Amino acid sequence: MAKFIVEQSGPLQGDVAVSGSKNAVLPILAATLMTEGKSEINDVPYLRDVDVMCRILRSMGASVTEDWKTHTITVDMDRVKAEEVPYELVKRMRASIFVMGPLLAKTGKARIALPGGCSIGDRPIDLHNKGMRSLGARIDTELGVVEATASQLKGALIYLDFPSVGATENIMMAATLAKGLTVIENAAEEPEIVDLANFLNKMGARIKGAGTDTIRIEGVEKLHGAKHTVIPDRIETGTFMVAAAITRGDILIRNCVPDHVKPVIAKLMECGATVNDEVEGLRVRGDIKQLIATDIKTMPYPGFPTDMQALFMALLSTVDGASAVIETVFENRFMHAAELSRMGANIKVDGRTAVVPGKNPLIGAQVISTDLRAGAALVLAGLVAKGKTEISEIYHIERGYDSFMEKLVSLGAKITREED
């Protein structure tokens, strides 16, 4: 197992380019299972999760070529040769559930074990199953395995009890090959859903309303291959924005979409950071004014993203005043609070609310990356902590950030990677 050794580094300065979105590319790759022919996906981030999804596609019969010099993946799908995803791949990544909709739509059958991933709270696939049942599928669950079968999916009106991103995407993919019209109400509105809909439409799908709470999908008989460039990763964008603020630095963030990070911009400015939308990207400075406390509450998009909560908590531990952090999306997403407290943050958690005192001097310590975003938050905290911080289980971080250490080092961070 590898670990990061992070030293107090001073203000980060320079420019950095954001990679393609992890949360956009995974369902896009899964969607290629429904095509006939070759698809080319560009600006793909080099991540462990992407590698797992490519292995899943190969296990289904796809020919997959990865060119990491150009960050391009080519998927050639002749016909699906398997209907069950190998368990050793499913257990490593929750996003493996994305193959359910495409497999069911393409072959009439999908068999998949309940997926793994970060332990940030209960994330059942009930809404995925509800959507597939509404489309006419039979769903059987036994011993942790979900089996879906359907001779022909049929369009339906589907209301989601919660605007789940994964369920919206899975249902949308399955509905592209269903007979008739499907309407998803209370759909998730994230930019990654819009990106997936754009890719599916390029393949011949007929989808309208992606990015709103009502999506309409008119089923088609077949899809063809397409070429697509993945949107920039908004959570990586937010991560480097917080990196500039927490180190009181000055960073120009290239290849980003400011509209996708509006809540992060707003909260950073409430703290006293300066954020400017320039021609070449977003410039974030934490060195102009004294940073102060603010409260955050995570919400589905376009609210403050739950994936930014841990990173913001690290920042709030370094500013003047006490802050409240309320987590409404996942019930178990405060595990990083204990790790930050090991470093002197002294955060108090009560249910879904955490109180961050602020301005407690952070001290280097041995901490554990409990999940993807928690790991990134600990790295940023380590950059301003006195002494050295040793972060273990960094495979979580490497699941979701392309060249994270290298990008931070290019900005002046003192980080090394060691094999334990």
Catalytic residues: 118
d(CA 400, CA 244): 20
Q: In terms of Cα–Cα distance, which of 319, 342, 334 is closest to 391?
A: 342
CB atoms within 10 A of CB 208: 12
CB atoms within 10 A of CB 162: 11
d(CA 210, CA 196): 9
d(CA 97, CA 115): 6
Structure letter (DSSP) for residue 361: P
Q: By CB neighbour count within 10 A (0-12 exposed, 13-18 middle, 19+ buried), where does 36 fall?
A: middle
How many whole angstroms from its chain centre is CA 21?
Answer: 7
Parallel, antiparallel, or unpaired for β 214-218 and 206-208?
A: antiparallel
d(CA 394, CA 386): 21
Residue 94 bridge partners (DSSP): none
Residue 84 bridge partners (DSSP): 111
Query: How big, in percent rounded to 5, are the helix, strand and coil portions of the chain?
Result: 35, 30, 35
Query: What six digits make up the tokens of 144?
Result: 């942790």
